[in-house]
Amino acid sequence: MPTTAPAAPAPDASAASASGLADVTASDSTLRRFLHGLPGVDAVGLEARAASLGTRSIKTTAKAYALDLAISMVDLTTLEGADTPGKVRALGAKAVHPDPTDRATPSAAAVCVYPDMVPFAKEAVAGSDVKVASVATAFPAGRASMAVKLADVREAVAAGADEVDMVIDRGAFLSGNYLKVHDEITAVKETCGTSARLKVIFETGELSTYDNIRRASWLGMLAGADFIKTSTGKVAVNATPANTLLMLEAVRDFRAQTGVQIGVKPAGGIRTAKDAIKFLVLVNETAGADWLDNHWFRFGASSLLNDLLMQRQKLATGRYSGPDYVTVD
Amino acid sequence: MSDARLSVLKTYKLYVGGKFPRSESGRVYEVTDSKGTWLANAPLSSRKDARDAVVAARKAFGAWSGATAYNRGQILYRIAEMLEGRRDQYVREVAEAEGLSKAKAAQQVDAAIDRWVWYAGWTDKIAQVVGGANPVAGPYFNLSSPEPTGVVAVLAPQKSSFLGLVSVVAPVIATGNTAVVVAGERVPLPALSLGEVLATSDLPGGVVNILSGRTAEIAAPLAAHQDVNAIDLAGADEALAKELEIAAADNLKRVLRPQPVDDWSATPGTERMTAFLETKTVWHPTGALGASGSSY
């Protein structure tokens, strides 16, 4: 399946079968046996590691590099009931030129909108490298029939979305119906076809345990996700360093086993440049430098970009910037 | 058992965003009385403490400037009430800091408390004095009203540790601004103690933020800060004031130059309030005019 992946081959069935994972998804019981056979997560150790990696001091040139990298990884998101075409256009313009006063600022990775806003977003980012991502499958709850979910995806892809962010059926996952979740992801992946990359949202805040997050990660990767994403940003607990670290470990292990590289996208709750840099440290120390690229790592955020820009201005001018010098959104 | 008690020494801390943090840098410096005897260690704030204080002040600005003038007056009066209850502590701190006798220090503290009351009264009167309805030739109201400038950095006077401090902080917040205060470098203790009073006076956290340390070190990033709207240079010497004014000019900050003050106890007038007010003028139609040419 051709993608624009620079480093690793796209996920396909042959890679999974070569590594002996093909029969894992053959039936509900084999899938459950595999997911429950994954090693349990040491919660204390995980949180301690995430916290200790968050204490790295990133200064001067390294900070400048990290800020630019983080800006280039932002999926600039607006997912409100009150979204208007005008707001989406403004967001698109901002994604292309985040800081109009400094054209050396890199573009954001993508704008992330609801499916009906995709045409406006497409138009706004036309002629740039900025992608358009669309949430789909009855985002954010995912409580709709399969036919509705697939129609949602079809509409987004037809409107030209480069990326589709789907939510898994948490109800099915938590009740142990793993094969249903797997088949839904596979069906959505099929509907995306070759034109759109698929991000699978687990809503980690609703999965209760780290063990569940690890299982969901593997389930998503086995089903053909191009990206695994923490959350919708619509619940109380969103991306945390610990659950992102856990997902980074999963993609690292998955590549080691199958040779297939999967992206990671923490979303929601990342508001400051300092937080973003902590996540970049996690990426580098866990998955490795191969993931330090906006093809493989994204931040789902809206207000984060403003803070990154203010920090960038501070670094360039030596004086603290303020919210008067970035957009209001 | 002897009567001698182990002394309980006070840890002076910053007051930022309604909380009492230590300096981000972890540094402290020794504060001595006028004769050089050690009094306490005060936090030696860094530019990052200044940055955090500005963030807190900005966050508090909306609610504080939007509060009714009457409500602000009540809160300022409450501060005076709270100070009155801790009068003895301030008399001691001021006497030690400035080398004054108990009686002289008590005079200073009383004057400072009275000053809070004085400014508390001004909160809902300043608009009538410096604003008003302007006469225009047309069926319009034309109204000018004073609006707070925003976040104001205040360099407190270096000598008058308490009366001088109150005289520069109270007018800034009375009109709805929020303040980042840099306490006098050698006399920070009364200022840091003021934070404890403000925290228990219904004053929303972040309206006043108090930093101690080297004035020049903290003032430089504040003067250059893009999100600080004005700076009061009362505590800066001539060379520093000039340097800060240049830094402040880059983003068109309002600057109140240091003025020689011999006696902080003199009635201050409204200058310190109007220095951090901006006049907003609006037109408003009076509605249809009747046959008499007046809508009233």
pLDDT of residue A19: 64
Asked if pLDDT for residue B110 goes beyond 60, the answer is yes
Closest CA to A303 of A274, A279, A272, A262: A272
Q: Are strands B132-133 and B140-148 parallel, antiparallel or unpaired?
A: antiparallel
- Average pLDDT of the segment spanning B149-161: 96
For the ranges A199-203, A263-267, A321-325, the lowest mean pLDDT is seen at A321-325
How far A310 CA lies from chain B's nearest CA (Å)?
10
Q: Side by side, which strands form the sheet with A263-265?
A: A263-265, A227-229, A197-201, A163-167, A131-136, A110-113, A74-77, A299-301
A320–B225 CB contact, under 8 Å:
yes
Residue of A nearest to B228 (CA): A322
B226–A322 CB contact, under 8 Å:
yes
- Average pLDDT of the segment spanning B157-173: 96
pLDDT of residue B291: 67
* Residue B78: count of CB within 10 angstroms of its CB: 18
Q: What is the 3-state secondary structure (H, E, C) of chain B?
A: CCCCCCCCCCCCCCEECCECCCCCCCCEEEEECCCCCEEEEEECCCHHHHHHHHHHHHHHHHHHHHCCHHHHHHHHHHHHHHHHHCHHHHHHHHHHHHCCCHHHHHHHHHHHHHHHHHHHHHCCCHHHHHCEECCCCCCEEEEEEEEECCEEEEECCCCCCCHHHHHHHHHHHHCCCEEEEECCCCCCHHHHHHHHHHHCCCCCCCCEEEECCCHHHHHHHHHHCCCCCEEECCCCCHHHHHHHHHHHHCCCCEEECCCCCCCCCCCCCCHHHHCCEEEEEEEEECCCCCCCCCCC
Collect all residues of chain A within an 8 Å Cβ-Cβ radius of residue B224. Answer: 318-320
Asked if pLDDT for residue A3 goes beyond 80, the answer is no
- Average pLDDT of the segment spanning A10-30: 69
Backbone angles phi, psi at B230, to 5 degrees: -155, 160
Tens of pLDDT, residue by residue over A115-171, are: 999 999 999 999 999 999 999 999 999 999 999 999 999 999 999 999 999 999 999
Instruction: Check if A165 is active-site.
Output: yes
Residues of chain B with pLDDT > 70, as a percent, come to: 96
The answer to whether residue B257 neighbours chain A at the CB level (below 8 Å) is: no
Instruction: Check if A229 is active-site.
Output: yes
- Band (pLDDT 50/70/90 cuts) for residue B4 is confident
Strands (E), A34-189: 74-77, 110-113, 131-136, 163-167
- Average pLDDT of the segment spanning A44-55: 96
Residue of A nearest to B52 (CA): A320
Q: Does some domain include residue A14?
A: no
pLDDT of residue A1: 38
Distance CA A246, CA B6 (A): 51
Question: Hey, of A57, A311, A320, which one would you mutate to test binding to chain B, going by the most B CBs within 10 A of its CB?
Answer: A320
pLDDT of residue A11: 47
At residue B152, what is the residue type?
V
* Catalytic, out of A229, A275, A278, A307: A229
Q: Does some domain include residue A16?
A: no
Tens of pLDDT, residue by residue over B206-248, are: 999 999 999 999 999 999 999 999 999 999 999 999 999 999 9
Asked if pLDDT for residue B57 goes beyond 90, the answer is yes
A319–B224 CB contact, under 8 Å:
yes
Burial class (CB in 10 A: 0-12, 13-18, 19+), B27: middle
C-alpha pair distances (Å), B205 with each of A149, A272, B202: 47, 21, 9
Contact indicator for A120, A111 with CB cutoff of 8 Å: no
Contact indicator for B17, B195 with CB cutoff of 8 Å: no
Closest CA to B40 of B162, B187, B161: B187
pLDDT of residue B290: 65
* Residue A236: count of CB within 10 angstroms of its CB: 8
Rounded CA Rg of chain A: 19
The answer to whether residue B250 neighbours chain A at the CB level (below 8 Å) is: yes
B226–A325 CB contact, under 8 Å:
yes
Closest CA to B232 of B175, B16, B241: B241
Tokens of B103: 């009686």
Question: Hey, of B227, B228, B253, which one would you mutate to test binding to chain A, going by the most A CBs within 10 A of its CB?
Answer: B227
Q: Does some domain include residue A6?
A: no
Q: Reduced to 3 states, what is the DSSP secondary structure of residue A57?
A: coil
Strands (E), A122-188: 131-136, 163-167
Distance CA A274, CA A206 (A): 26
- Average pLDDT of the segment spanning A188-211: 94
At residue B4, what is the residue type?
A
Q: Side by side, which strands form the sheet with B277-285?
A: B132-133, B140-148, B277-285
Collect all residues of chain B within an 8 Å Cβ-Cβ radius of residue A319. Answer: 221, 224-226, 247, 250
Instruction: Check if A122 is active-site.
Output: no
Distance CA B273, CA B152 (A): 12
Question: Hey, of A312, A319, A325, which one would you mutate to test binding to chain B, going by the most B CBs within 10 A of its CB?
Answer: A319
More confident residue, A273 or B263: A273
Question: Chain A to chain B, count of Cβ pairs less than 8 Å apart?
Answer: 28
* Residue A157: count of CB within 10 angstroms of its CB: 21
Collect all residues of chain B within an 8 Å Cβ-Cβ radius of residue A99. Answer: none
CB contact burial B81-93 (16+ within 10 A = b; e otherwise): ebbeebeebbbbb
Q: Reduced to 3 states, what is the DSSP secondary structure of residue A155?
A: helix
Q: Does some domain include residue A323?
A: no
B226–A321 CB contact, under 8 Å:
yes
Distance CA B134, CA B145 (A): 11
CATH class of B28-285: alpha beta
pLDDT of residue A132: 97
Distance CA A315, CA A71 (A): 14
Structural domain containing residue A114: 29-316
By Cβ distance, the residue of B221, B227, B247 closest to A322 is B227
How far B57 CA lies from chain A's nearest CA (Å)?
12
Number of domains in chain A: 1
Closest CA to A255 of A2, A50, A19: A19
* Average pLDDT over chain B, rounded to an integer: 94
Distance CA B17, CA B117 (A): 24
Collect all residues of chain A within an 8 Å Cβ-Cβ radius of residue B227. Answer: 320-324
Tokens of A325: 């010098």
Asked if pLDDT for residue A8 goes beyond 60, the answer is no
Asked if pLDDT for residue A13 goes beyond 50, the answer is no
The answer to whether residue A324 neighbours chain B at the CB level (below 8 Å) is: yes
Burial class (CB in 10 A: 0-12, 13-18, 19+), B76: buried
Contact indicator for B228, B201 with CB cutoff of 8 Å: no
Tens of pLDDT, residue by residue over B59-94, are: 999 999 999 999 999 999 999 999 999 999 999 999
Peptide bond into A140 cis (omega under 30): yes
* Residue B153: count of CB within 10 angstroms of its CB: 31
CA pseudo-torsion sign B191, B195, B200, B201? positive
Collect all residues of chain B within an 8 Å Cβ-Cβ radius of residue A322. Answer: 54, 58, 225-228
B226–A318 CB contact, under 8 Å:
no
Q: Does some domain include residue A10?
A: no
Q: Are strands B28-32 and B38-43 parallel, antiparallel or unpaired?
A: antiparallel
pLDDT of residue B261: 84
Q: Does some domain include residue A22?
A: no
Strands (E), A185-327: 197-201, 227-229, 263-265, 299-301
Distance CA B122, CA B125 (A): 5
A320–B51 CB contact, under 8 Å:
yes
Q: Does some domain include residue A216?
A: yes
